[in-house]
């Protein structure tokens, strides 16, 4: 499995190698994961636990709903772990001005990354210009404030043509990442969809695989397909699998 992780990482340019021992593998995997808790019933103590795990294991970020951004930012202050949040989540059918406001307020509260959901119905209606404008407003707001923007396409709801058009709209709008899924839709990340996003977005845009990624094998497959970030609520379990590889 270590070889599979190394090969997948090489595809995406991530520095994951077993050469320096399991600790380096663990650190490499953790640094690619957005440690995520977006369940609506998540309570304050669970957010505190998520942040503690984020700091302990060195995840790329903790991803929380915007109501918890300020708490997460305060908890993680002084650590390299970023706070990620969501806008227009999980349906994407909000007014563009609402997504923009949500993103701006979250960044002001301490978010360094915003995962926004596209207007899926607009894309399916052929309103690509409006979809792109919606994305661009959030992307520009993030970039003005030094934050990254990841664009969630909710691939399980889209046809092949819609997946490509949605990805192209996100790239034209300046997105830092395109992302497969909210984790609340009818399906999560697939290797085929990740490969399609990578081929469509090109090498200059990140690809985040999210939704149903629960094992080290899942991570390896997504990295091999071209993902550069993983969204998962099972990050600690995945790292337990990495540690189990110790001879």
Among all residues, which ones are annotated catalytic?
115, 179, 208
Helices (H) and strands (E) in the chain, counts: 11, 8
> In a 3-state reduction of DSSP, which class is residue 43?
coil
Q: How far apart are CA 104 and CA 145, in angstroms?
A: 8
Quick one: CA dihedral 42, 158, 115, 8, positive or negative? positive
> Could you give the count of Cα atoms lying within 13 Å of 65 in the half-sphere of its Cβ?
13
Are 114 and 140 in contact by the 8 Å Cβ rule? The answer is no
Residue whose entry in the numeric block shows the structure tokens 């190394």: 6
Q: Are strands 148-152 and 82-87 parallel, antiparallel or unpaired?
A: unpaired
């Amino acid at each position: 499995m270590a070889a599979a992780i190394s090969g997948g990482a090489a595809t995406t340019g991530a520095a994951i190698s077993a050469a320096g021992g399991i600790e380096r593998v663990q650190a490499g995997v953790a640094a690619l994961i957005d440690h995520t808790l977006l369940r609506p019933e998540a309570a304050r103590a669970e957010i505190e636990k998520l942040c503690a795990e984020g700091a302990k294991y060195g995840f790329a970020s903790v991803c929380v709903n915007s109501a918890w951004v300020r708490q997460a930012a305060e908890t993680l202050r002084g650590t390299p772990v970023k706070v990620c949040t969501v806008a227009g989540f999980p349906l994407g059918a909000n007014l563009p001005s609402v997504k923009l406001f949500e993103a701006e307020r979250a960044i002001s509260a301490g978010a360094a990354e915003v995962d926004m959901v596209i207007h899926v119905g607009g894309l399916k209606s052929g309103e690509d210009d409006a979809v792109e404008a919606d994305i661009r407003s959030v992307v520009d707001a993030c970039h003005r404030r030094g934050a990254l923007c990841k664009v969630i396409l909710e691939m399980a709801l889209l046809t092949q043509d819609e997946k490509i058009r949605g990805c192209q709209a996100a790239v034209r709008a300046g997105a830092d990442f395109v992302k497969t899924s909210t984790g609340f839709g009818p399906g999560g990340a697939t290797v085929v969809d990740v490969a399609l996003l990578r081929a469509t977005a090109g090498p200059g845009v990140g690809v985040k695989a999210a939704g149903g990624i629960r094992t080290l094998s899942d991570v390896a497959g997504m990295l091999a397909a071209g993902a550069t970030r993983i969204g998962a609520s099972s990050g600690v379990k995945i790292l337990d699998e990495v540690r189990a590889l110790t001879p």
